[in-house]
Chains A and B, each alone.
Chain A
């Protein structure tokens, strides 16, 4: 098997601040193959964006302490100089940001902004770069691309701006596309258009995609594999079907049962996760999810769980101190509509 396109190993990104050390990303590992889509799911402050910005070399602030390795196409990105990084960024790795209005320059024509990226990485004339920009705009489905390339960002609608961003990101045929909340600012109908566009372009160019989102629906439709992040760590990782059909981490359960679903009975009660995400400066001891976990035991407040393979399920990894058999029983209870507190007394007291 060929080496994966992107290999992140034990990546830590800490920021020194006046209030203390912010452990934004605290030892995460994942790989992405060519043509594959990895979904990173988590709440705000879980470190999902910071980890991807680090891959792009965009967190090199003076107060940042970055350790671990990021290998892209056989090259160690963390050791790469800023100069070389600029050659990779926008060329081999491209990024789509959440807010297209603030990531496009308001003073320059959309075509010029795309052409600039092409000229920065390719030895082409200005006219050739402009043609490439027009070609990309038509590829992402903007009508009358030659005319629209001459327009300014404010003349575009939200969906068209996001398309222009995608055109810009894909102009140099990147091997890896990082999409940070690509559709959060958009209406559902436009979101469907954009998701379909990313999928189509991905299959055409065999691009690897990392999609970062808090929307479980979006990853269910796009991702092959999902990593669930909580407080700077990956707490569960598996292929998409497994995450939705047989999740094993209580946080993943919490996420799944706190969203209303179109395919569930309408009067179904939502089960929110109690409390709120912890401060990244003062992480709780032991398992960092323990203050919000309904199944916590004394030992969980002291022992820090590692991300370990689930027995009998290749590719499925979970960081939870509960026994796998207990977790499976809990999930089957929860899925049949039992409340967490009852599930706990049913399954865990009996196990004692």
Chain B
């Protein structure tokens, strides 16, 4: 079965336009050693990543720590200089923009950080934290107008607008994350990148923030790039998901497709590793435990990068780097021997349920 790439990645019934296009993105961090601090190597954090972000969608980035998902996000926002590659925002190349042009770009894209404790300045009031973006971009210069704008934002994210003059320490973790969301929304950006926005929160609070992000996205038509290591959270939030391994995207598909029919053995292993909050399902599944650790990104294995830990690896995997192409079922996957449906059913309990 052959599926065209655009059909596979944008399986949404409404054909959406691309808001961002990433092509051949690289970020290598040099390693210096010796007396002359000569460059002896590089950490290949992002090593040739290409994907599109569609307007109004939630795109998930998942993978183990060190796979380059956070670096990719920071490159998209231009918080870091890419080593090579092109990033287009609404058709415009942004990989090299500087100065005022970059500042203007910041109004279009904002970020929500993981840790609501360290990402808010403890010496500023909530009001001034949320209104900082206004000050930087010279908006709402009148104090009364600015206060009104901030209080509207606080209301949108479910904070009491009367708490305008309080300090971050007076809020709980979940409320602090709402402050972070309000600050990200202040400039009415088109794209928001959320890097592990709920992993520092308690279970009961996590759901509050997830619901908030989902509602805001629907109401404001935001494009959300959602990074998390919790695969159940990613499935709940995202329309499409990209799985990263050692600086590369190894599988990209719609959420439903990825979770019910993973093609790349690495994705299958990730799904299989998620503990299920259902003792009967947990007992029934054959857990696919990956052996060993992620290889060093300084010197990634030749051929398919996953071959050192893959149970299906053969000679060809050690020599040839598989391209990211459409596989059976429409997922884009970089794999020589994609999983069959039977193999998926045996290992991934969620697939069993989705299929009835």
Instruction: List residues of A whose CB falls within 8 A of some B CB.
Output: 43-44, 157-160, 187-193, 195-196, 214-218, 220-221, 240-241, 244, 254-256, 258-263, 266, 268-273, 276-277
Contact = CB atoms under 8 A, between A and B. Distances in A.
B290 A189 contact: yes
10 contacts: A188-B274, A189-B64, A220-B282, A221-B276, A244-B278, A260-B210, A262-B274, A263-B278, A266-B259, A270-B207
A216 B206 CA distance: 14
Given A157-B293, A263-B350, A220 B278 contact: yes
Nearest to A273: B204
A44 B201 CA distance: 9
B351 to A, nearest CB: 9
Given A43-B203, A258-B204, A262-B259, A270 B287 contact: no
Contact of B271 (A159, A191, A262, A273): A262
A331 to B, nearest CB: 15
Contact of A266 (B235, B269, B277, B290): B235
Contacts of B354: 263
Interface stretch (B88-96, B226-234, B321-329, B338-346): B226-234
Interface in B263-305: 269-282, 287, 289-291, 293
B273 A262 contact: no
Contact of B202 (A190, A191, A244, A277): A277
A188 B275 CA distance: 8
B174 interface: yes
A259 B203 contact: yes
B211 A272 contact: yes
Contacts of A260: 210, 232-233, 235-237
Contacts of B314: none
B356 to A, nearest CB: 11
Nearest to B67: A187
Given A216-B203, A272-B204, A272-B205, A266 B255 contact: yes
B287 A263 contact: no
Contacts of B237: 260
A187 B276 contact: no
Contacts of B232: 217, 259-262
A52 B49 CA distance: 46
B83 interface: no
Nearest to B283: A221
B208 interface: yes
A269 B211 CA distance: 8
Contacts of A215: 275
B298 to A, nearest CB: 14
Contacts of A276: 172, 174, 204-205
B276 A217 contact: yes
Nearest to B208: A272
A261 B231 CA distance: 9
B81 to A, nearest CB: 28
B100 interface: no
Contacts of B281: 263
B319 interface: no
B40 to A, nearest CB: 19
A190 B290 CA distance: 8
Contact of A191 (B172, B273, B278, B293): B273
Chain B binding site: helix, strand, loop or mixed by DSSP? helix
A217 B291 CA distance: 21
Nearest to A217: B275
Contacts of A272: 204-208, 211
A217 B290 contact: no
Nearest to A193: B289
B256 interface: yes
B349 interface: yes
Interface hub of A193, A262, A271, A273 (most chain B Cβ within 10 A): A262
B203 A258 contact: yes
Contacts of A191: 273, 275
Interface string B198-227: 000011111110110000000000000000
Nearest to A268: B236
Interface string B116-141: 00000000000000000000000000
Given A157-B293, A189-B269, A218 B279 contact: no
Contacts of B271: 262
Contact of B279 (A190, A240, A263, A268): A240
B2 interface: no
A195 B275 contact: yes
A263 B202 contact: no
B211 A262 contact: no
Given A159-B293, A241-B280, A270-B236, A262 B231 contact: yes
A273 B207 CA distance: 8
A201 B355 CA distance: 35
A271 B256 CA distance: 21
Contact of B277 (A193, A217, A271): A217
B353 interface: yes
B65 interface: yes
A263 B353 contact: yes
Contact of B349 (A244, A262, A268): A262
Given A214-B202, A221-B282, A260-B237, 6 more contacts: A192-B289, A220-B277, A260-B236, A262-B353, A272-B207, A276-B205
Given A192-B273, A258-B203, A262-B274, A220 B279 contact: yes
B282 to A, nearest CB: 5
Contact of A256 (B64, B276, B277, B282): B277
Contacts of A192: 272-273, 275, 287, 289-290
B273 A188 contact: yes
Contacts of A214: 202-203
Contacts of B350: 262-263
A159 to B, nearest CB: 6
Contacts of B256: 266
